[in-house]
Amino acid sequence: MEEERERWGSKFGFIMAAMGSAVGLGNIWMFSYRCGRCGGAAFLIPYLIILFLVGIIGLMVEWTLGRKNKAGVLDSLINCGFPGGKYLGWIPIINVFLIFSFYAVIEGWCMKYMVMSLSGELMAIDPGPYFGNFVSSYEPLIWLAIGIIATVTINSFGVRKGIERACKFMMPLLLVLVVILMIRSLTLPGAEAGIAFFIKPDLSKITWDVWLNAVGQIFFSLSLVGSTMVVYGSYLRSKDDIPGSALIVALGNTAIALMCGFVIFPAVFSFGLDPASGPSLAFITLSSIFQQMVGGRFFAFLFFLLLFIAALSSDVSMMEPVTEVFVSHFKLGRKKVTLLLGFLAFLVGIPCALLGWFLDLLASVVTTMILAPIGGIIVAVALAWFVGVKHAREEVNEGASIKMGKWWEPYVKYIYPAIILVILILGILSYFGIFEATW
């Protein structure tokens, strides 16, 4: 099995692929509007605490389960004897497929605005009404199809020649784009107010809602949904360093998110706009800023190129767990599977592209509130209770530069699943209006 299964070509390639999964729209778009709604720097305190208490541990848990079983989540649950694993294993797989489907819609928006920036059309529109008319038309279906074709093309070439090769190109380019945009934003007149908003916390604004948003951001941004990182871990070799890689990916993901904050908030404050404008921040608020900025057309193109790369790299990672289960478990050909999944994702994406309320509903259910935490709990319980924490610690320490001590066992067995369970309960209560949270 060790020889038959695909493997990452190098540690750098794996880190870039994992970063490609983690560094997506969640870092650039979702992080910024959640941070803006939650008081700026006040959001960063719980975010960083949760990163170390949950995020890094979560990456280790999911990669360890995948490498231990040399399989994706479905076969991992079956192999470790998880009760009902052959059925429950489909929950995180279906969840990540739904995320892939609606994410492709937003990926299409990014491509549309990237092309508009390049042509100069973005400079002549009224951003608010234009975006509303665009998302309520049939045009997003065209961009949805293009986004899915790009994702299917990369995944059809496999792990090393497709995902790894693409991410080794996209992630360095993404970093360069972030640095260029950050320098431009920090040099805008009045940028100091945005910097202060982002680095000087008002502790009175740290509420339960802020904590919940921080937890949701960590889980979604790091792809801790019980599927993607499990299958990425299954392509690791026994000599690969799981704890060290988890630390690099988590900190690298956070560094990109913080840099994107320094792109967006100085610009927003420089032009006197609302940092808490929500999901419209990227497509309406920032479009208005680019129209007023010297060199705005060029920087708009770079920004929406950045968004597109982030969306594409994440969509590639979210398609892989679904592809893997049909290739490994059902022994089907990868190219046929990716074509079929692309077609099905387009069908699911149609109502998301045409009905804003459906997109919002699907995004809230599958990312933060219900399905994502369920997938996380399943994986955590499978590793800690059925593989066994002793065997799990032996596996995570195999090839590790930083060895996990005895403390890791009770943490993974009790504390980590308990945190996810609290997220799930509060998410359900929030969904039904019993507990108020702005996701």
Taking the C-alpha atoms of residue 420 and residue 344, their distance in angstroms, rounded to an integer, is 30
First CA to last CA across the chain, in angstroms?
42
Taking the C-alpha atoms of residue 437 and residue 315, their distance in angstroms, rounded to an integer, is 27
DSSP 401: S
Q: Is 190 helix (H, G, I), strand (E, B) or coil?
A: coil
What's the CATH code, domain 11-431? 1.10.4160
| pLDDT digits 0-9 by tens, 157-190 | 999 999 999 999 999 999 999 999 999 999 999 9
pLDDT of residue 286: 86
Determine what percent of the chain is predicted with pLDDT higher than 70. 94
Which class for 114: exposed (0-12), middle (13-18), buried (19 or more C-beta within 10 A)? buried
Record the pTM.
0.92
Q: Got the DSSP string for 83-118? A: TTHHHHTHHHHHHHHHHHHHHHHHHHHHHHHHHHHH
Residue 277's pLDDT band, with cuts at 50, 70 and 90, is low
Q: What crossing angle do the helices spanning 90-119 and 371-381 adopt, rounded to 10°? A: 130
Taking the C-alpha atoms of residue 396 and residue 402, their distance in angstroms, rounded to an integer, is 10
Please give the torsion angle defined by the CA atoms of residues 351, 357, 359 and 364, in that order, rounded to the nearest 10 degrees.
-140
Longest dimension (CA), the chain: 62
Short-list 181, 168, 219, CA closest to 22? 219
Taking the C-alpha atoms of residue 385 and residue 392, their distance in angstroms, rounded to an integer, is 10
Amino acid of residue 305: L
To the nearest whole number, what is the mean pLDDT of the chain?
90
Short-list 322, 424, 432, CA closest to 377? 424
Which residue carries 């060029």 as its tokens? 298
Taking the C-alpha atoms of residue 97 and residue 322, their distance in angstroms, rounded to an integer, is 7
Tokens of 230: 């499990």
Within 187-241, residue ranges assigned H as helices are 191-199, 208-221, 228-234
| pLDDT digits 0-9 by tens, 290-345 | 999 889 999 999 999 999 999 999 999 999 999 999 999 999 999 999 999 999 99
Residue 439's pLDDT band, with cuts at 50, 70 and 90, is very low
Of residues 220 and 254, more confidence is placed in 254
Taking the C-alpha atoms of residue 117 and residue 128, their distance in angstroms, rounded to an integer, is 16
Which class for 115: exposed (0-12), middle (13-18), buried (19 or more C-beta within 10 A)? middle
Tokens of 298: 């060029």
Domain boundaries, the chain: 11-431
Taking the C-alpha atoms of residue 10 and residue 21, their distance in angstroms, rounded to an integer, is 17
Taking the C-alpha atoms of residue 438 and residue 419, their distance in angstroms, rounded to an integer, is 19
Whether the CB-CB separation of 103 and 318 falls below 8 Å is answered with yes
Q: Is the pLDDT of residue 114 over 70?
A: yes
Mean pLDDT of 385-407: 95
| pLDDT digits 0-9 by tens, 27-73 | 777 788 788 888 889 999 999 999 998 899 999 999 999 999 999 99
